[in-house]
Amino acid sequence: MSKFPTIEYDGVSGMVTGRSAEQVYRFLADEADMEGKSLEAAMHRARADILMEHPTAGVRDNDIDEAIKKWGRNES
């Protein structure tokens, strides 16, 4: 199990920053890999890659919200 990333929020929108979302997607991909869910892992990696190629200020996504609830709120 990898360490859940620190979550940063955009000061204007209050959404999770694009960089934090990218890290959460990579974390979720690693977790899915360990559970043998290769399709889910590939989907999370693809989302992370998109955010890395096309940075955004804030992201709102149920997968990220659920991950924060499940693994913690390491906020900065």
pLDDT string in tens for the chain (76-residue length): 678 999 999 999 999 999 999 999 999 999 999 999 999 999 999 999 999 999 888 999 999 999 999 987 665 5
Answering whether pTM is above 0.75, one says yes
Q: Which residue has the tokens 């992370």?
A: 48
Contact, 67 vs 25, CB < 8 A? no
- At 74 the pLDDT is 60
Q: Which residue has the tokens 């979550």?
A: 7
- At 52 the pLDDT is 94
- At 49 the pLDDT is 97
